[in-house]
Each structure stands twice: as C-alpha cells, then as structure tokens.
Structure 1
C-alpha cells in the first residue's frame, strides 16, 4: 500500500512521522509537556482516551496510539494535587509527534516555562506540528508567542485572568474546546477527554473514540462548541444556544452586556436568541439576566460579609437603592432584611 501524499511529503523532508507511518506504526502520536502544578485530571483524561483507543479492550498496548511525557531536565513534575509524574523522554525532535500538548494548572504557582520549552514549541510550530493547550496551557502558548491571531479556549473560571494578563486577545470561554487551524485549546477537566476523542476520531476512527469515552463512563464525544458548564444556575435548559448565552451573561454579571452583544458574540441574531429563550425557558433574555444577577446578589448577601453597596456593584446594579428595589420585587424583602434574618 502506498503512502498518503502528506506522508510522502514528510518522508522527503526527513520527517520522523513518515517513518512511523511507513513501518505500520501508530496512527496517532502525542507528546505532552506538563507545567509545574499542572492539572492532573486534565492530563489523565487526555492520555486515558489515547490509551483505551490504542488497543483492543482495556489491554493498554500503545498500538494505534502512542504518547510520551517530554522534559528538558527529566525531573518529576508535581501536579496541583501534589502527585508527581515522571517524564519519559527528553524534548528532542518534535516532528516525531503528530501533536504537542501543553497541560497547564494553577495560575499563581506556575512559573514561566524554561526557555528550552519555548524553543521546542517554536520548533514544533515551524515544522507544522499542531500545538494543543489544555487548561491554562493556552496561557503558556500565548506567552511563548504562539497564539497570536488565533482563537483560543479558556475555562470560564480563568476568563478574567486571561483578559487581565494578555491584552488584545479575546479568548473563548463559552465552549469546551476550540480548533483554529493548527492550534487546539480546551478548558481542561473532562473537556480534555473530548479533545483527545476528537483526535482519535480524526486519526484512528470514531468507534475507537466512542469506545474510550464509554469505558471512562463519559457520554459520546462532544463537539468543541458544546457549552462549558459554568456556575450553578437556577435556570435549567438543554438548549445549547441558551446555555452558551447564559454562560456569557455569567461572565459579565458585574458589567451587564446587551442581548444584542451576546447574540453578536455567538454569531446569532438578537431575534434568534430571544426565540430560543422563549421556547426553552418561557422568558426573555433580559429577564433571565436580571434573575441571574439577583440570585447572585442573594447568594452574596447570605454567604459573604460584603456591604450591600459592594454587592450591588459586583452584580451590575447602579447602586444599593437600585439593587434593593429589584431585590424586593423578586424576594419580597430588601438585602438588609434578608441579612438580618440569616445573621
């Protein structure tokens, strides 16, 4: 059987991936870079999808997929949970992998990557090896100058951090992962399993991708535009358009945005958003947004020591009087009276 055009091109260029394909090796090879205090579950979910897809049943032989944890110095890398992972290979030539994955973790406890990793990632990008940022891995790709002009996905929880640290970049925080040409970024957690399943589906087969997730007791593979779960909401819906709109509203509770702006960010019309809200929740987007902000205000009144004036600011109200009027209409009393009852 002849080599594919891409494999022939790689072979002529001396690409190690061509030799693997020509010898009947794995169909998908992934190299991992773990940052200090990386998120263990995001890494484990990703690599376990590869492991389960690589062999029949649960035998874990790296036949159809292979992977390696890469390192500059080969020291164990501590995760955010305190469990360390021992790298398996030195950095070497990135072209021997189909993808390089950077797994991030705790923002405040993670120093910048060693310059050796920056050089390796730039070498990979120069060789057209796609780069993947998992959890806060997107932060490190951006710091390395490898996300310029790319859309990138970050967790809704880190959305504000990203905006504060990386001026001029508009990250996507209402999807579980984003594929933009040769960059893939995901919000971490269970979404890393879906990114891995996306790769397995693409290179190995849909059956293997589904098998892996089913063994891990995860639903069928999700597309990247599946909404992130976000904060707990009283507004429950299975409509993905409404879910994404609600998540955008959550991320802008302190500075409410218009329904028109929400629709624009989602690539929808204002009328479409309103229709989906009416059919799914039997209310308008504006009313749902107000309900969300009032629920957050009530939560802060009951659980925090913040002043009512500060809570009003945090929840996007003009002042404490405005909050009190809306609060009384919704809950039958003022924030001060509720705090007195619960105090």
Structure 2
C-alpha cells in the first residue's frame, strides 16, 4: 500500500500553522503566566512554515534555502520544548539541551561546508526531531507525575508513541540513501513511519491547552473547598472530606477564647493574624494524620480518621501550648487569647454532625471550667 506522504505533509504543515496562530490569540488561549502559549504558538508556526516550504524543493537538502528551512524547523521544535518547560516550571536534562544545540550547530556547519551528502542532513534533522520529542515527553510525564493530571499522561503517551516512529523514519531514510539495493523497501518503511508519526504528533497540538484546562479545573475545585483567609478547609471542603471517611473518627472542636475582645481592642487585622496562626499550628501538628476546617468565625474542627483518644489528647495539649506561646510572642494583649478544645470520637456512619455536637458540648465544659478557675483566681 502506497502512502501519499506529500498530502500528509501538506495537511500537517497547515495544521501546525493554524494551531500556532490560535495559540498566539490571547482571547482563545488564555495565555499562562510564564508565556508558554506564545512559545508554543511561534514554534508551531515555524514548524508549519518549514514543513510546507520544503515541499517546493526536491528533498536533496543541498540548496541553501532548504537548509535554512531545516534550521527553522529545529528552532520551531526548540520553542515547543521551551513552551512545555515553562508550562511545567521545569527544564529538560542538560544533556538533552546540549545534544539539541549540537544538532543545530551541525546544520549550520553543513551550510558552511556545502556538502552534497544528504545523509548528514537527514541524520542531523532526524536527531534534532527525536531529541525534541524525548525532551517534551520527559517534561510532560513530569507534569503528569507531579500534578496527577490525566490529560498530561495521555499527551505524554502520544509523544512516547511518536518518538520511535520518527526514529524509524530517520534510520530507514539513511538506509535508503546508503543501500541502493534496499532503497525502495527502506523508503516505503520510512514514509509510513513518517506519515503515522505526523498523525500522532497532530493529536498533540492542543495538548498544553487540555492539560491547562484540567489544571485550572482542579485549582477551582480546591479553591471552592478552602477558606480564603486561613487556608483551612471550609464547610464545603469538610463535606467532601466527610464523604471519604469510614469507620471510627476523632474530632477536636477548637474555639478561641476572648477573640471578640481582641478584635475590639486591636482591630480585625490582629484577629485575622490569630486565625491564620491557629490554622498554621493545627496543620503543623496534624501533618498527614488529619484535616483542619474552619466551621465558624473563630471555630475550627480537626478531623482525625482512626485517631485514638490518646492521640487526640496529645494533640490538644500540644496545640494549646504552642498557641499560647505563639500568641504572646506575636501580639501584646492582656489577657491573651487561649484555646478551648472539645474532643469527641465515634463512628462516622452515625454522621459527622453528631460528633461535632458532642465535641461542642465537651468544648463548652472546658470553657466553663476555665471561667470558673479564672473567677476563683480573681476573688483570691
């Protein structure tokens, strides 16, 4: 079966150019903070122009203009690598960057030497394309691994699939030029590898936009679950946590004593600072053992899946102690805010609200006990 490679190349050149142009329109791409869309757009445009204009030559890669187009192609691919690096906030391995630079210098050297051996150009151009694909694959899989994005895994898979196809294209093209006896068969395999590879690469044109869309959706979901002032979970986030809980759960309900007086005397900025301080301390003490949610103005809930009473009591003491010391160091107020913490434990199947109600009753017993001690101390 004969593959019309020229038609495939024409379609690929047009698609690269159009996709590049679309990435340069801010209204359609919502360009990221680091300019990745601009690099991707210019890279695709250069690749499209280089692939399209080379069709007007005989493919010998001897003419100076044709070699300049090959260099343009490498620059376009390098811009695509830069785009993915900016998008993922990582750089490819230095060895890959050095090898990509070496291929570009090699093409420049071929232009200066005026060699007519087309195999050198095929080797340089093929190596540059494959190195760029490897670099993009490495960066894309890094994004998928760090951010756990499904679309990044899919796009990384497409780049993985394209790489061996273009390796085959390069190797069999070299074989076709080196072994006349195998020229027809080798060129047939090279054409098919290039054709399928171009189709696979075409599927990746919108890869960064798709990954960005999933990234933005995840960020929006996270923001919807987070209290904007403190960084703790809000009630919506707490509801989502509750859905994932099973079995026994221990909760700690935290209330800041004398918080209203703090706001009245020192302003809401001081109150906000204390709220953030408590959240940071609670997150530090809990670590990966549980979650912290802000369920009211100065009320917080710590949720410990499978936490024991001893762990909850140790957490209560540590958090109260650290909070007392941190507040005294952070703000000059007398008497300083303190924490009243109530603890409750039970099965989550009976509902989190029931546990919160029990912890609330325990917290008010602690608060009344402290008020009674303070009153006796004042009389004495």
Mark the structure with the bigger radius of gyration. Answer: 2
Structure 1 or 2: larger helix share? 2
Shorter-chain TM range is under 0.3
TM-score (norm 2): 0.21
